[in-house]
Chain A
Amino acid sequence: MRLTDHEQAMLAGEFGEPRRRALAQQMMVGRFFDAEDFVEVSQVHLMADTESLGEAGVAWLEALAAFPEEERRVRVPTVTDPRGIDFDAYKRLRQLDSWAALERRTIDAFVAMGVLMTDTCINYQTILPPAHREHVAFGDTGSTIYANSVLGARSNFEGGPAALSAALTGRVPRYGCHLDRGRQGTHRFVVSDRPRTLSDWGALGGVVGRACGSYWTVPVLEGIGGTPTSDELKHFGAALASYGSVPLFHMIGVTPEAHALGDVFEGAAPDPVPLTRADMDAFYDSFGLHEDGVDVVVFAAPQQSLVEMQQIARLLEGRIVDRRTTLIAATSPEVKSACDRMGITATIEAAGGIVLKGVCFYQMYARETGEANGWKRLLTNSAKLVNIIAGYGYEPVLAPMERCIDAACAGRMSR
């Protein structure tokens, strides 16, 4: 890789050991993907839940945090993805004190490095949305695909250690989504039936993701017919990234790099694949129903926006969640504060629901928490969550928000 004088000095250790190590590790990844040089980034979003980190990862962070302040401090604004524990709720969820202790150690290490503990995967809706053509290092697949596609910013998936390296060096290897050629379309879809609910948008993302199936594919969608809302694009992108490991999509006439087909395809565009209501219905059907009972209903993955929280509260108003079922809504600490102030939390909890902040369901020890609470049959409106959670021992089913809430209050789904 071609290094600037500044980067050469960093690699020689002139700015301390943490930055030297970080740059060396970034160069390994850069060489792996044939990056020619680095590109500076303006902000970092860091995924580091303790379930993924484990004791080894936390000890690794603590060793970094023990360096002198001028060596360990992040160079660009750095915010965090959801944590593994909501300290105000973990006992209620029968989670362990040892997990909370690991979480506190992690937070202490990050704070010592100057990281802002935002604990959210919807940073693009709630913290600092990047601007068109801004190079960033985002560390959640949902936040990355939204920033790339909807906002026209530029980021690869930067997993926890890579995002932390970016925070320490202020740059990332330039490959993939940072290059114009990495943002050209590879697959083309024509949508004939516009999704109606957030879970429909997730289902559409899941269908397209399954058809793409690699990080290096860029799906282009036509026929959307009018700009979707931020929450709709959030569910679509999160599912697409989850099923396809895809970091970028274009919607003709909607997203900023795709005014017309010619903007995203060099030469002739590939033949379009038609997508209809039947494809979305088949996606739902692949997860079945929980007619015999629902153990847990989850609104998360991504965390809920203030608008989604209000929708949940309205649907729950004057009703009671069945005693056999637990209802959970997870959001960011900032949105939770707003919900507290606006009475939304009170409405959800009066109905027997649980509002969690700063966590996401699959990042909070889902296997052990499920076993401790007897949760197996899970219902959600998140297409992303149904994809992830089966590996943690759950039987997930996908349904629109209204049906999820009806099932929570009845204790089971009806046909």
Chain B
Amino acid sequence: MSGRVIRGHVGIGPAVTGIALVARDDFSARYDLDRIAGVFSRPVHKLYGESYVGRILVLNTAKGGVATAWMLHEMKARDMAPAALLLNAANPIMAQGAALAELAFVDRFETDITVAIRTGDKVSVDPAAGTVTVLA
């Protein structure tokens, strides 16, 4: 697969390809999302009003509470989850949630991932290799 390869730490979940949705903000499923509607609902979040469903969601770091560990699984069961989550820095909750939900999840990249990828980029994520490839 040709494209620009960005290396991170070995991640969790299956390999996926999708369209990126990017912001420098942090992420919590409880604090930031209307999970029924599938949009960012926290007014001060940069992605407020944006749908994250099926997108490669690229944000800075995990924040807030523990609920996301269950919520990713619940969102995926309703087909209302992002296709993958890429963060500069994970916390345990996001990793635990990704493990339960079998959601593609990678962090600790060689560069700031929120700068290296732009909204609308087509991106391929390989958690087993810990790589992200920007295709177009």
Within 8 A of A (CB), among B75-108: 76-78, 89-93, 95-97, 99-100
Inter-chain contact A387/B31, CB cutoff 8 Å: yes
Chain B: CB-nearest residue to A241: B65
Inter-chain contact B92/A54, CB cutoff 8 Å: no
Taken residue by residue from 85 to 122, chain A's Cβ proximity to chain B (1 for < 8 Å, 0 otherwise) reads as 00000000000000000000000000000000000000
Q: Which of B62, B71, B99 contacts A245 (CB 8 A)?
A: B62
Name which of A24-32, A68-76, A191-199, A226-234 contacts chain B.
A24-32
Inter-chain contact B61/A32, CB cutoff 8 Å: no
Does A213 have its Cβ within 8 Å of any Cβ on chain B?
Answer: yes
Q: Which of B74, B92, B97 contacts A156 (CB 8 A)?
A: B92
Name the residue in B32, B69, B78, B97 with the highest tally of chain A Cβ atoms < 10 Å from its Cβ. B69
Q: Which of A48, A52, A158, A176 contacts B96 (CB 8 A)?
A: A158
Known: A157-B91, A388-B31. A25 touches B100 (CB 8 A): yes
List of B residues within 8 angstroms of A49 by Cβ: 67
User: Please, how many angstroms separate the alpha-carbon atoms of A330 and B94 in the complex?
Assistant: 28
Number of A-B contacts (CB under 8 A): 134
User: Please, how many angstroms separate the alpha-carbon atoms of A177 and B95 in the complex?
Assistant: 16
Does A139 have its Cβ within 8 Å of any Cβ on chain B?
Answer: yes
Interface footprint category on B: 35 or more
Taken residue by residue from 142 to 159, chain A's Cβ proximity to chain B (1 for < 8 Å, 0 otherwise) reads as 000000000000001111
Q: Which of B26, B41, B67, B97 contacts A213 (CB 8 A)?
A: B26
Chain B: CB-nearest residue to A138: B66
User: Please, how many angstroms separate the alpha-carbon atoms of A404 and B43 in the complex?
Assistant: 24
- Using a Cβ–Cβ cut-off of 8 Å, how many residues does chain A contribute to the interface with B? 45
Within 8 A of B (CB), among A158-181: 158-162, 176
Q: Which of B31, B66, B74 contacts A159 (CB 8 A)?
A: B66
Inter-chain contact A47/B67, CB cutoff 8 Å: yes
Q: How far, in Å, is B131 (CB) from chain A's closest CB?
A: 15
Q: How far, in Å, is B6 (CB) from chain A's closest CB?
A: 18
Q: Which of A52, A216, A241, A393 contacts B67 (CB 8 A)?
A: A52
Q: How far, in Å, is B99 (CB) from chain A's closest CB?
A: 4
Inter-chain contact B61/A245, CB cutoff 8 Å: yes
Taken residue by residue from 48 to 68, chain B's Cβ proximity to chain A (1 for < 8 Å, 0 otherwise) reads as 000000000000011111111
Known: A52-B30, A391-B31. A161 touches B10 (CB 8 A): no
Q: Which of A56, A216, A243, A390 contacts B42 (CB 8 A)?
A: A390
User: Please, how many angstroms separate the alpha-carbon atoms of A57 and B69 in the complex?
Assistant: 11
Name the residue in A28, A55, A245, A387 with the highest tally of chain B Cβ atoms < 10 Å from its Cβ. A245
List of A residues within 8 angstroms of B96 by Cβ: 25, 29, 158-159, 161-162
Within 8 A of A (CB), among B12-33: 12, 26, 30-33
Inter-chain contact A32/B12, CB cutoff 8 Å: yes
Does A331 have its Cβ within 8 Å of any Cβ on chain B?
Answer: no
Chain B: CB-nearest residue to A31: B10
User: Please, how many angstroms separate the alpha-carbon atoms of A47 and B93 in the complex?
Assistant: 12
Q: How far, in Å, is B126 (CB) from chain A's closest CB?
A: 15
User: Please, how many angstroms separate the alpha-carbon atoms of A53 and B71 in the complex?
Assistant: 6
Does B46 have its Cβ within 8 Å of any Cβ on chain A?
Answer: no
Chain B: CB-nearest residue to A392: B41
Q: How far, in Å, is A54 (CB) from chain B's closest CB?
A: 3
User: Please, how many angstroms separate the alpha-carbon atoms of A387 and B44 in the complex?
Assistant: 11
User: Please, how many angstroms separate the alpha-carbon atoms of A107 and B93 in the complex?
Assistant: 23
Inter-chain contact B89/A28, CB cutoff 8 Å: no
Inter-chain contact A391/B33, CB cutoff 8 Å: yes
Chain A: CB-nearest residue to B106: A32
Q: How far, in Å, is B87 (CB) from chain A's closest CB?
A: 10
List of B residues within 8 angstroms of A32 by Cβ: 9-12, 90, 95, 99
Does A200 have its Cβ within 8 Å of any Cβ on chain B?
Answer: no
Does A242 have its Cβ within 8 Å of any Cβ on chain B?
Answer: yes
Chain B: CB-nearest residue to A363: B67
Inter-chain contact A161/B70, CB cutoff 8 Å: yes
List of B residues within 8 angstroms of A390 by Cβ: 42-44
Within 8 A of B (CB), among A2-44: 25, 28-29, 31-33
Q: How far, in Å, is A147 (CB) from chain B's closest CB?
A: 14
Chain B: CB-nearest residue to A165: B96
User: Please, how many angstroms separate the alpha-carbon atoms of A28 and B26 in the complex?
Assistant: 23
List of A residues within 8 angstroms of B91 by Cβ: 157, 214-215, 245
Binding site for A on B (CB under 8 A): 9-12, 26, 30-34, 41-44, 61-71, 73-74, 76-78, 89-93, 95-97, 99-100
Offer 8 A-B interface pairs, CB within 8 angstroms, sorted by A: A52-B30, A54-B74, A54-B78, A56-B77, A159-B69, A162-B92, A176-B92, A392-B41
